[in-house]
A and B are shown apart, each in its own frame.
Chain A
Amino acid sequence: MKPSVLILGARSDVGNAVAHKFAALGHPIQLAARQSETLDAEKTNLQLRYGVPVTLHEFDALLTETHAQFLAMLPELPEVAVSVVGLMGSQERSERDQLLASCIMRSNYEGPANILALLANRFEERGSGTLVGLSSVAGARGRATNYVYGSAKAGFTAFLSGLRSRLAKRGVHVVTVLPGYVATKMSEGMNLPARLTAQPSEVAESIVVAVERKKNVIYVRPVWRMIMLIIRLIPERLFKRVRM
């Protein structure tokens, strides 16, 4: 039997796609999400399609105090853990609504970083494992139109890179995924340029490849590497005047 894969935030389109890709390769799957019992049909679906064991686990990224217990309840420590937890939220609303702003920050940074930190310690003890964090290109530079979300992702990206360095000699690998635009529930109705927009299955595919080949930071569509390079190079003096 292949080693198991834990998906944190399994209800999301990307989480779902990642589960399918790993299951198709024969990995047992642990699906973690809020109201996990509602994923029962998805569990059956994965089992029928790929003939692998699938388990459901109640997990709320924001309830950080429950995370240790969540890990203790897992049937086995997974070999790969993928966090796709995140919340886009509305920048405009979060400028006025402090609770929403805090929720966005915690969903994109505190929550995922906390659970990956706990997993990292277990993986380190065991001496093996891969942690995958879904961050965002939005973390590369704060933009007027989504800096609340972007800053949290920036924090998460930095966290992942620090974790990677710490664990590099301990047999534990960390992958940072910077997907760019993805066609998901979260982005539905937004008018996204097709060439820059990846499908959830593409994101999942690149995650599987990154885990296998021990890549560090991956962009799903390579054009984003160029775009972000350019965006980072714009001097602040100019950057503060462009609305993007």
Chain B
Amino acid sequence: MKLSGWGRSPLVNAQVYVPRDLEALQKLLASKPSVIARGCGRAYGDSAINSSATIDMRRLNRMLAFDPKTGQLIAEAGVVLCDIIAAFLPRGWFPMVTPGTKFVTLGGMIAADVHGKNHRKHGSFRGCVDWIDVMGPDGSIQRCSSKSHVELFEHTLGGMGLTGIILRAAVRLRAVETGWIRQTTIPAPNLKSAMTALERAQDSTYSVAWIDCLATGENLGRSLVFLGDHANASDLPTYRSLHPFATPAKRKLSVPFNFPCFALNRFSLRAFNALYYRIGVWNRGQQLVDWDSYFYPLDAVADWHRIYGRKGFAQFQCAIPIKRSEEGLSALLQTVAKAGAGSFLAVLKRFGPQESRFSFPMEGYSLALDFPITTKTSHLLANLDRITIEHGGRFYLAKDSRMSAETLRASDGRVASFVRMRAKSGWKSSFQSAQAERLVL
């Protein structure tokens, strides 16, 4: 069947298998030239696609144990984040780190070592992983952690499924008093003030900025900065504090068909972005926001990726080291603004320090942009690649669908040792994705 990631490009013909148990999984590993695990397919590009055998892990989705003292959950890799929240938020627990969508599997979050709006304060997903069980090329299972089978553990977190199949994991949840977030909105007229606001926000658990990337000149980098903290029971109005974990019911929106390309021209986008900024300015200051709207605004619009039309879209996400962040970000934003190819979503995050074998985050700033796929944007994207590399930055594989092997190597000195490790451990021949082939990993 034709398979793609969330960005709907590239589309690859692939055999998909849906094993129900470990034995079926072992058989697949033994009988196929190579395989790759797949969760919910929320990676944007081709990281979860292998044409000969893509293994849909979502049937291996049992929750196995929970310790209410420590908040440790043991679950199979196919468990979906929204089910974890549904089960444990009512009991006062929330994920330590969450990406911007709740439709991801535990395995997918570990493989990409996802980051949230709290990277600065709490690091990436690995920070809450106590151990993982990984199936190797010969079907044997290794329980690894930062203390045992360390190499496997280190390479699997952020290893994009290229080191084995994650079967189970023990992860710690965070104790929360309510399902609400105290949000502060700060309008920032340009990039510098946005960065200043993010730097000042050290004490906030969550922080993120939405950038209007069509604003130019003095307004370059015009943003809304959103800070957030888990609300305590005493922060809630009385009528809510009786049910501190209840989420108000929302209407489900959906995008029923592929948007025609012309709907996304620079005028409609400019108007949209300007309006969004205005609304933010009106709403400046503090608000209480429920967890679902705060963390997963896009999930409320089912199939929003269709908005970019049939050809799909590409996301660009880079991280730039703190010393060169300001310079790098302004160069990126200037290039985008000049091309006039802005996106609905331009998200700026401040990352805290992180040392990993292959995970994406590093201390500095991360910028994410979406573009519909056209010849013009591919040229623009190549320019953004170049600027990122010039400023010592690197790219997020979970979002990539198009970069070249050379670009990856130029941006990330860790590639060589990852590739060596893959060859040495037999992972390379057994675990392959379309992305790994493209990037020669």
Interface residues of A (CB under 8 A from B): 41-42, 44-45, 48-51, 185
Contact = CB atoms under 8 A, between A and B. Distances in A.
B63 A51 contact: no
B380 to A, nearest CB: 39
Interface residues of B, number: 12
A49 B84 CA distance: 8
Contact of A48 (B20, B63, B90): B63
B87 A50 contact: yes
B158 to A, nearest CB: 28
B87 A44 contact: no
Contact of B64 (A41, A50, A51, A185): A41
A49 B87 contact: yes
Nearest to B91: A51
Contacts of B20: 185
B83 interface: yes
B379 interface: no
A42 B60 CA distance: 11
A45 B62 contact: yes
A29 B188 CA distance: 54
Nearest to A43: B62
Contacts of A48: 63-66, 73, 87
Given A41-B62, A45-B62, 11 more contacts: A42-B62, A44-B62, A44-B64, A44-B65, A48-B63, A48-B64, A48-B65, A48-B87, A49-B63, A49-B86, A51-B90
Nearest to B84: A49
Contacts of A51: 87, 90-91
B63 A45 contact: yes
Query: Which secondary structure dominates where chain B touches chain A?
Result: mixed
B150 to A, nearest CB: 28
B64 A49 contact: no
Contacts of A49: 63, 83, 86-87
Contact of A44 (B63, B86, B90, B91): B63
Q: Which 6 A-B pairs have the closest CB atoms?
A: A45-B62, A48-B63, A49-B87, A45-B63, A48-B66, A41-B62
Nearest to B62: A45
Q: Which of A41, A45, A48, A185 has the most CB of B within 10 A?
A: A48
Interface string B57-70: 00000111110000
A185 B20 CA distance: 9
A35 to B, nearest CB: 14
18 contacts: A41-B62, A41-B64, A42-B62, A44-B62, A44-B64, A44-B65, A45-B62, A48-B63, A48-B65, A48-B73, A48-B87, A49-B63, A49-B83, A49-B87, A50-B87, A51-B87, A51-B91, A185-B20
A45 B91 contact: no
Nearest to A183: B18
A227 to B, nearest CB: 25
A200 to B, nearest CB: 11
Interface centre among A41, A49, A51 (most CB of B within 10 A): A49
Nearest to A13: B20
Contacts of B87: 48-51
A88 B83 CA distance: 32
A45 B83 contact: no
A45 B66 CA distance: 10
B170 to A, nearest CB: 13
Contacts of B83: 49
B27 to A, nearest CB: 14
B79 to A, nearest CB: 9
A135 B154 CA distance: 51
Contacts of A44: 62-65
Interface in B70-123: 73, 83, 86-87, 90-91
A42 B83 CA distance: 15
Select the residue from A42, A44, A45, A185 with max chain B CB neighbours within 10 A: A45
Contacts of B65: 44, 48
